[in-house]
A and B are shown apart, each in its own frame.
Chain A
């Protein structure tokens, strides 16, 4: 784990973001975070906690029924800064063509089934980067090799349905990095890969960060992946960020009961037979109104104060925050129910 460096210039700054889906159901609320230039930030949390919607808002790719209700998303710093909330289509096109790359968990839906994967990437390189046909082809094969595809020239000529899930994801990563973006958003991008390839892809992303000053927003369910690849961690629950800070510090001494619960169920590097632990109960659905802390129904430390009203973010110093009424001292005293 690299120690946390100072990232003065910011690549992405999100403030007080609120996103609703469907009939005005609030799915993400009060989300603020910042990604420094060249920094890698891990976003973790259960399914449905709003990780994907947050990423998609930063890409201008919210689902048809989704919209940003409030807040700001600013890409870049100084003269290059672009306000993305309410941006025009042409701005989004420019941002997605050259400044933000993205990879999602369902690669097949981002490719045209009737064109070879090589053609699709080469075409992008021609249109967006102005390469000639031959150069675009060579660069495509090079990128395919870079993301660890065996036989890149052969893969060039294949159609999406001929590739396994993992191979498709590597094609998508190749496409995402082909525009040499300043920010790469990877939403569960390695979940479908075997751990050998996952380790290679994560190493590749680390290399790209070092060589291109690429910033990374890595969405994953796997705390160990964040531990190995991200300087900072954001823990999301029920549409809010409940804890944030330097990865090493947060994993060493988690302050929010939800982070503790997540670490409690993580199964890492253990080959033993055992009962696999779960966090009892269900996370709140989008739009679900709750009087106080959104984690309270599942929290072993919940007390009356937790239900009195919305729980604000507490700045814990040393770059850490927690959205919990209890301090770590009172957590230590309290016996989880």
Chain B
């Protein structure tokens, strides 16, 4: 599907594009900006938005990966989508309904329905230490007020088995008596208990060993097929993600700098940050990989002024005069399903290892 070219960032909400041949998105985020209120005096937070002008669509039973810098707004997008934080600008539509604008009771009712579930990054912090595994997994069903008592018990056991846990062995345990991997699977079982239509997983596998990581990712892949579940997965493990995701969005400092089909994006990055990301992924003696050092400014590159223009400019070896303006995120001429927010998308490759083009006066 061809996405429209982004208008300048000042347009908070943009027009809905013409009908296309692909299925209507389940989730449509447009021009979304989120700013955390200044938490108190003496801090400089709240000055910059945690998320700026983000566009993202998720179609039914699609897996979208989100990768990118720590602190770049990935969790913030997840929190905004489930209604835990209100957008400062932009819109969030779920199944055609504007949920970004929901307030008060309507917003709580939407959250209670369990149609969108969030799996948090840190299971220790999100699971109540006094509840047993059974209580934890049953809780969302109790909140949604669906199913009979026995059906709930069955659903709990079924959900635990789905995530690879033996209900008899773990049902009565408390989070502190589980290993990190088991805890994360419990939070996943809890999230799928209501059989949501969209699952937003914030680093569901970061704390897991590779075998469990693959098990959980395969499980998500299987659930999306069986339950027609759309899944957004925030992860740092690019390679595992590439195994199952359809598309990927790359975040850097509050912006989506690149998005498109995951294997194309990771295999042939259009944005210099994406290239740095793929080059930095740990490897066992991969000779063909680009040396990340070639994607960093050299010591004698003049420092880019803070907060000027492109969000990546201060770390980009290819920054030049035009980069003083934040680039829009147009589709790539050679790949209409891909978008990148770089004035030199893909073209920077030709300048790899050439003397820095950064302006002398900077």
A residues near B (Cβ < 8 Å) are 1, 22, 45-48, 63, 105-106, 108-109, 154, 157-159, 162-167, 188, 191-199, 202, 221-225, 227-228, 251, 262, 265-279, 282, 285
Contacts and interface: CB of A to CB of B under 8 A. Distances in A.
B357 interface: no
5 contacts: A106-B125, A164-B70, A164-B71, A195-B280, A268-B282
B261 to A, nearest CB: 10
B275 to A, nearest CB: 11
Given A265-B214, A275-B218, A198 B43 contact: no
Given A48-B182, A227-B284, A271-B263, A197 B70 contact: yes
A251 B282 CA distance: 14
A269 B289 contact: yes
A195 B284 contact: no
A276 B240 contact: yes
B44 A223 contact: no
Interface stretch (B84-92, B150-158, B203-211, B316-324): B203-211
Contacts of A157: 42-44
Contacts of A167: 70-71
Interface in B253-282: 262-263, 266-267, 276-278, 280-282
Contacts of B212: 46-47, 278
Contact of B213 (A221, A227, A262, A272): A221
Nearest to A170: B70
A132 to B, nearest CB: 22
Contacts of A278: 211-212, 214-215, 218
B210 A266 contact: yes
A146 B284 CA distance: 27
A195 B238 contact: yes
B191 to A, nearest CB: 19
B121 interface: yes
Given A47-B208, A275-B218, A193 B282 contact: no
Contacts of A154: 44
B25 interface: no
A159 B39 CA distance: 10
B81 interface: no
Nearest to A192: B206
A220 to B, nearest CB: 9
A292 B263 CA distance: 44
B71 A221 contact: no
Contacts of B236: 191-195, 198
A45 B207 CA distance: 13
Interface in B213-249: 213-215, 217-218, 236-240, 242-244
Nearest to A47: B181
Contact of A191 (B207, B242, B244, B284): B207
B121 to A, nearest CB: 6
B97 interface: no
A192 B12 CA distance: 32
A157 to B, nearest CB: 6
Nearest to A149: B71
A253 to B, nearest CB: 13
A166 B207 CA distance: 13
A188 B240 CA distance: 18
B67 interface: yes
Given A276-B217, A278-B214, A45 B209 contact: yes
B238 A46 contact: no
Contacts of B244: 273, 276
Nearest to B285: A227
Contact of A194 (B69, B169, B213): B69
Given A195-B238, A271-B242, A225 B282 contact: yes
A141 B180 CA distance: 32
B71 to A, nearest CB: 4
Given A269-B239, A271-B263, A276-B240, A196 B282 contact: no
A221 B240 CA distance: 13
B280 A166 contact: no
Nearest to B125: A108
B282 A228 contact: yes
- Of the candidates A157, A271, A278, the one having the most CB atoms from chain B within 10 angstroms of its own CB is A271
A199 B70 contact: no
B75 interface: yes
Nearest to B284: A227
B281 to A, nearest CB: 5
Nearest to B47: A154
Given A47-B182, A269-B283, A272-B242, A221 B70 contact: no
A123 B243 CA distance: 46
B281 A221 contact: no
- Of the candidates B211, B237, B280, B283, the one having the most CB atoms from chain A within 10 angstroms of its own CB is B211
B96 interface: no
A229 to B, nearest CB: 9
A267 B75 CA distance: 25
Contact of B210 (A202, A262, A273): A262
Contacts of B67: 194
A166 B276 contact: no
Interface string B288-308: 010010000000000000000
A277 B45 CA distance: 43
Given A267-B240, A269-B239, A269-B283, A163 B71 contact: yes
Contacts of A192: 70, 121, 203, 206-207, 236
Contact of B122 (A22, A108, A272): A108
B68 interface: yes
A110 to B, nearest CB: 12
Q: Which 6 A-B pairs have the closest CB atoms?
A: A166-B70, A47-B181, A276-B214, A224-B282, A48-B179, A164-B71
Nearest to B124: A106
Given A195-B277, A278-B211, A278-B214, A270 B70 contact: no
A26 B312 CA distance: 50
Contacts of A45: 209
Contact of A221 (B39, B69, B209): B209
A197 B282 CA distance: 11
Given A108-B122, A227-B283, 20 more contacts: A1-B285, A22-B177, A109-B124, A158-B43, A159-B39, A188-B207, A192-B203, A194-B72, A195-B236, A195-B280, A199-B282, A224-B282, A228-B282, A262-B211, A267-B240, A268-B282, A269-B289, A273-B242, A273-B244, A276-B217
